[in-house]
Structure 1
Amino acid sequence: MRQQNKTFQAIEVGDGGDGRWAAHARALWQDMEGLLTAEGRTPEGADRVRALFRAHMPELVPVLDRLASQLDRPEAEAFLTHAALRPFSPACTQIGRNGTLLRNYDFPLDQCEGTIVSSCFLRPVIGMQDVLWGLLDGMNDAGLAVSLTFGGRSVYGRGFAILIVVRYLLETCDTVDQAVGRLRSLPVAVPQNLTLVDPTKAVTVFVGPDMSPTVAPDACAANHQHLPVTDEQERASRTQERLRAIRAAGADVAAMLKPPLYRSVDEQGSGTLYTARYRPVEGRVTYYWPGESWQQSFGDFTPGSRTVTLGRPS
């Protein structure tokens, strides 16, 4: 079994205007800028993605302007729209049940930002940030929590990376129903599954560039959607096995830290990087690793860092 260390950090960035977010983003920029597509580097492409962002996420336009101006990079605004980024395919498992959102995030170790962020761009939000201000999962002060998994299909279209969609939903929505309604008008570049939880409801929604948002049979998701899974896909991702396992286990942290839901780090450095349990009605999230946990909340957010050992399931 391969074991590696990963350092996660927790930061507060406020409304993004006082330099804390910018200092963090500048330190990451060299590693991040390669995610921008060739189209996003052209004046025409930059105009297109800015127009797309203004049309579909108007509430966040002032935040985009504020953040981009601090990076002082010509391509910063196009990059931060998340509408001209190379696609990524996280192999995750998640479930919403009884006011709890529980998820495993599986991805290459060296491609995860690993930053827990408390922000107040439009409202208080806490989540696991990636690609400078997108979110892999998170919750807001209204009691809504959202997380993502890859939808398992090789389709790509014009639209947003799912990271900024999660951010947008948490910044602008109070309930699951409101968020599902917003999804119906948001173009998404890659097939993804979103699990959403509020105090009274939990659903999973399949989204993609070639389909209308579709509510799944239950509030669980791995890495497939409505189409049959091929034998090759199952061997590579074990998506059906993981979905069966999480349905059987429910929102059980202990099960998430064991195979088949917990995936040891492989030779390519990919595996389960963290487990997150959101209790949004309490404004509280706990991140778990085998033998270690880290709790954050709106009432008691603690900046700092943790170095954890990956690759040793409980």
Structure 2
Amino acid sequence: MELTFRAIDVGDGRDGRWAKQAEPVWPVIAGETDPSALEPAGEAAARELFATHMPELVPVLDGLAAELDRPGAAGVLTQAALKPFFSGCSMASAPGALVRNYDFDPEHCERTVVASRFLRPVIGMGDFLWGLLDGMNDAGLAVALSFGGRFVHGRGMSILLVVRYLLETCASVDEAWRVVAGMPVSTAQNLILVDREQAAVVHLGPDRKAARVDEGCVTNHQDAPVPADQEAWGATGRRLAALRAMPDPSADELVAAMLRPPLYQTRYAEGMGTVYTADYRPAQGRVTYAWPAHRHEQSFERFTPEEWTVRVG
């Protein structure tokens, strides 16, 4: 299978570049939003929830909605009505590095690396217009998400915007943990946080208290193993065991492991294929996206808008 990726620079979101890339995908985005949750009263509630937990991003939200100029744009951009999505992922840290596989249906992944300067410089893999699957900021913090293994849904923030918010407002693992510990999230999710000195895994969910685990790797479950049929499908326990079996790996060793089974997955039609491997070096301000036969690097010092095609599987 061949997949095309692109890198774009949207600046502060208010000079037309962000709107230019958002307009073509708006129909798809609207289709991933539950319209019943964004009726007039629902949209007001969504904005109130957003303002309560991400106040620094309210001016950005309003600016992007104005750029998009579509009815109900602000409500959609809060992601409060985003339909739940569940994916696989393997994530691990090495000294000063965050390495992750993103496993999903490629047709439902935007495959767009985004450089932005909403509140500060951030580079990451974009999703749902301004959310992030993973990324890093100019302070030397990197964050990535993975599904937490439980199919639950409740009132809370979209994990895509939680990643964005942490990178826009935090400079360290400890600071990000303090923020996310009090953040309600709508689905069961794991985060991995990496800065210049330390790393941590965070377990989140609408049905549980946030927990910090000082471990360097995580897949798609939290405190307990998933049911046997779910393990047979997603192999979250097997993948985590493979990561734990690597004693003090370097970032390069982690990347190599991510590109081979059991971490590298090829069931794309089932939503369990590795779309990309990301190797973030936040202290150096650079990220390398990896595939079995291709590497692509971007950095704060040299970010290049472009497209490239890779072969996966």
Q: Normalising by structure 1, what TM-score? A: 0.96
* Bigger shift: residues 297-306 or 228-237: 228-237
Tell me what 2:53 maps to: 56
* Cα RMSD after superposing both structures: 1.1
CA distance in 2, matches of 1:71, 1:266: 32
CA distance in 1, matches of 2:176, 2:99: 18
* Bigger shift: residues 69-78 or 185-194: 69-78
CA distance in 2, matches of 1:53, 1:217: 29
Identity, % of aligned positions: 54
CA distance in 2, matches of 1:74, 1:227: 43
Per the alignment, do residues 267 and 130 of structure 1 end up closer, same or farther by CA in structure 2, a change over 3 Å counting? closer
CA distance in 1, matches of 2:226, 2:52: 35
CA distance in 2, matches of 1:172, 1:28: 27
Number of aligned positions between the proteins: 308
Residues 1:224 and 2:221 are matched in the alignment = yes
CA distance in 1, matches of 2:161, 2:55: 13
Tell me what 2:289 maps to: 287
Poorly superposed stretches of 4+, deviation over 3 Å: 265-270
Q: Deviations over 1:112-157 (max 9, x none)?
A: 0011001000000000000000000000000000000000101110
**Residue type matched to 2:168 in 1?**
E
Tell me what 1:159 maps to: 156
Q: Counterpart of 1:127 in 2: which secondary structure?
A: strand
**Residue type matched to 1:222 in 2?**
T
* Bigger shift: residues 208-217 or 197-206: 208-217
Q: Deviations over 1:274-305 (max 9, x none)?
A: 00000000001000011101000000101101
Which residue, 106, 114, 118 being the options, matches 2:115? 118
**Residue type matched to 1:271 in 2?**
G
Deviation at 1:93, TM superposition (A): 0.4
Judge conservation of contact 1:12–1:117 (CA < 8 Å) in 2: yes
Deviation at 1:75, TM superposition (A): 1.9
Q: Counterpart of 1:212 in 2: which secondary structure?
A: coil
Consecutive unaligned residues in structure 1, runs of 5 or more: none
Deviation at 1:59, TM superposition (A): 0.2
Q: Counterpart of 1:59 in 2: which secondary structure?
A: helix
Which residue, 257, 260, 266 being the options, matches 2:259? 257
Tell me what 2:126 maps to: 129
**Residue type matched to 2:128 in 1?**
V
Deviation at 1:40, TM superposition (A): 3.1
Tell me what 1:29 maps to: 26
Per the alignment, do residues 62 and 267 of structure 1 end up closer, same or farther by CA in structure 2, a change over 3 Å counting? closer
Judge conservation of contact 1:84–1:160 (CA < 8 Å) in 2: no
**Residue type matched to 2:259 in 1?**
L
Which residue, 270, 273, 289 being the options, matches 1:271? 273
Residues 1:306 and 2:303 are matched in the alignment = no
Deviation at 1:212, TM superposition (A): 1.4
CA distance in 2, matches of 1:38, 1:23: 24
* Bigger shift: residues 105-114 or 260-269: 260-269
Deviation at 1:38, TM superposition (A): 2.8
Q: Counterpart of 1:211 in 2: which secondary structure?
A: coil
CA distance in 2, matches of 1:169, 1:218: 19
Q: Counterpart of 2:99 in 1: which secondary structure?
A: strand
Consecutive unaligned residues in structure 2, runs of 5 or more: none
